[in-house]
Amino acid sequence: MNKRDKEFTASAGGVPGGAADAGERNIAPATHSPHPPAAAGPASGVSRPHESARAQVAGSATYIDDIPEVRGTLHAAPVMSNVAHGVLRGVDASEALQMPGVRGVVLASDIPADDMLATFVHDEPVLARDKVEHIGQVVALVVADTVMQARRAARKVVLDIAPLPAILSPRDAHAAHSYVLPPVTVRRGDADAAMRQSKHTLGGTLEVGGQEHFYLEGQVAYALPLEQDQWWIHSSTQHPGEIQHWVAHALGLENNAVTVECRRMGGGFGGKETQAGHVAVWAALAANKFKRPVKMRLDRDDDFLITGKRHPFAYDYTVGFDDDGLITAFKLTMLANCGFSADLSGPVADRAIFHTDNAYFLSDVEIVSYRCKTNTQSHTAFRGFGGPQGVIVIETILGDIARELGLDAFDVRMRNLYGTSDRNVTHYQMKIEDNILEPLMTRLEQTSSYRERRSAIHNWNATSPIIKRGIAITPVKFGISFTATFFNQAGALVHVYTDGSVQVNHGGTEMGQGLNTKIAQIVADELGVPFERVRSTAADTSKVPNASATAASSGTDLNGRAAQYAARNVRDNLAAFVGGMDGCGAGAVSFAGGKVTTPKSTRSFDEVVKAAYANRIQLWSDGFYRTPKIHYDKTTLTGRPFFYFAYGAACSEVAIDTLTGESRVLKVDILHDVGTSLNLAIDIGQIEGGFIQGMGWLTTEQLVWNDKGLLTTHAPSTYKIPATGDIPAHFTIALWHEPNREDNVGGSKAVGEPPFMLAISVWEALRDAVAAARGPASAVEMQAPATAENVLMALQAAAQ
């Protein structure tokens, strides 16, 4: 260990709340108490193991590529453009067709119906036709007996492309007026007049990179043609209903001819919300041409080159503020790099606007959002869905204001927080009715020993010429609901069998986040049966139709409530039946611990079910839920787009090496709001995973396109997600004590996306450390992610 490594390590100790006392306060899966027996109490509100955990550990959990292949199954591989923008003049597959096992090639001309994908904007071809618009765009498919035969042959297909000028950055796209959608402007007050009256002003730019989803299971689909023009599609997708629609649209069929099933995904993070549809459509087209089942699984490098990422953003801003750091005026231009087609860029960029305030009241504000078309992959949903790109810019600005005024950034943030009785309406005209920001931030300030650590870090930096440390607390206020209001609906089916066992099916999809586990807990409690008696089954469009994507952190909110309503219908049937037998009202019948109790008797649930069946009582039901209260004008982006907000805050401490730009996250303390937790272990796991993924976005995960438009970071060798060694030794998580103030299932709050933005505290801590190195009274200009190179450039820029 060299001197700087020792200093990195040493800098983690000696501060109140540091690594030395982390063991007492750390919350991690390894320290959870044993799971209580099912009969000991309610199924919800306690830690339960993930419903597939044992199967996953044993290797018996089935993913798409594990499904036994039907005899005669063929395999497809993509032929991709090697030019960022150009005219497609020809496809020469002659050499590929001579290779062993190759059955043929699928081109745009083989599409039996519409050759454009069934997206909302209808702007993306299924396969490139007369032009290509990014390196990696799929032009054709090679179909062969084995996956490796198909992949080898695909490399032999020669494309004749006449290059055209390519646009590779959002700033270049903006200059060329190249957009996938029209710009959107949101205003409140008079930002220009307020800016002129502001005592202080700052202006600047910021560049924030995208992020690869890097799901463990890549994009994969298995298309099986059935009798009478029917299809069965196995797809690793967050949105089976959209896969159904896209495949039917490409094949010229009605939706009822296509059934899509997804038992589980090996991760999604938004990357399988729309873009799983491409692979499913391609597999179906190949199966349609060759009249055989076809599986298509992308190689990891191809997956990188074909699929979209988190949207990179560029920003230009001017902010006015007073002597205490209170923002008095704000003007912001957001340039979203959407890639070559719209995909979900409209709602992503909208949510970035919605979350530009984060936790802070903006009195006079103007935000202009441009949705820029570039010759790169079509960027798409990613955990946070534009929220992180909104939050990071306001947090960056508040850090700069604090340094400009010589104030503590925490105090500046507290000064700008939303209020409870006033200063409580967002810039999109939604009143905040559940604000817990001030008490939550204050508690974290105390429990993390922020003030003491800030003082100790100041003393450290005064005596350490090379290793500099920084610390920051940042909050999050994240709106929960789909911004497309019509997606806020869900359905479910609950079946009670004659042996008392229960099966639930719903429109959500399981991608490792524990959705099926939570829904089984909800159903078990509604019926009063042990958790182990409830089994969740695969998402299936033939069971619950028209289901929304499992996204927007709303999987449990929507599908859990629908499943609860379905179970309640069955319970009500049983209660009426038992009440009739015992001469009491249905309201006097209770269900708990596997027992059904009336004022006159107690029976086992199984006994009641058998008797009900014998008396022809319905033992299954559907349930439907639509989110209440939400509404907004899509033209002006005003109204109430969210049912409620989830809140949280994180205190992060970092160290940087001023000679190399290397950095390390030393300590993280999180206080997060999940309402009443349905499953403590799963919720904490989501907080941990979300934070670390956000940390990766802002530190190591850098996407690099060269001047030809090639994504050069297209493999684990060049694209670096956080590893175990990047996890801080001190990593504590505490949960806010209050249930959801809105009537949400179990009093819970969504937990999938909000923790991601807590990692912006790492970004701000790194900028704090850079400021400590460069000295007072100069701005910190750094681009995200804060790789070693970007940190070093920020240090060198400060020294000039």
Could you give the residue numbers annotated as active site? 753
**Structure letter (DSSP) for residue 360:** B
Using CA of residue 789, residue 794, residue 799, residue 800, what is the dihedral sign?
positive
Q: How far apart are CA 730 and CA 456, in angstroms?
A: 17
The 3-state DSSP class for residue 425 equals strand
The backbone torsions φ and ψ at residue 435, rounded to the nearest 5 degrees and listed phi first, read -70, 120
**What's the longest Cα–Cα distance across the chain?**
87
CA distances (Å), origin 228, targets 231, 253, 261, 272? 9, 11, 19, 29
Tokens of 734: 């505490």
Q: What is the distance between the alpha carbons of residues 544 and 547, in angstroms, rounded to a whole number?
A: 7
Residue pointed to by tokens 């606007």:
353
User: Which tokens is 384 given?
Assistant: 């946070």
Q: Residue 486: how many CB atoms within 10 A of its CB?
A: 8
The number of residues making up the chain comes to 800
* Euclidean distance between CA atoms 414 and 401, whole angstroms: 13
DSSP secondary-structure letter at 644? E
Integer CA distances (angstroms), 553 to 125, 276, 387, 749, in order: 29, 19, 12, 9
Q: Could you tell me which residues are beta bridge partners of residue 735?
A: 672
CA distances from 337 to 208, 254, 309, 756 (A): 10, 35, 10, 20
Residue 321 per-residue DSSP state: E
Between vectors from CA 465 to CA 459 and to CA 468, what angle results, nearest 5°? 60
**H-type alpha helices, 406-484:** 409-416, 437-447, 450-463
Helices (H), 291-425: 300-306, 345-354, 387-405, 409-416
Q: At what angle do helices 387-405 and 409-416 cross, to 10 degrees?
A: 120
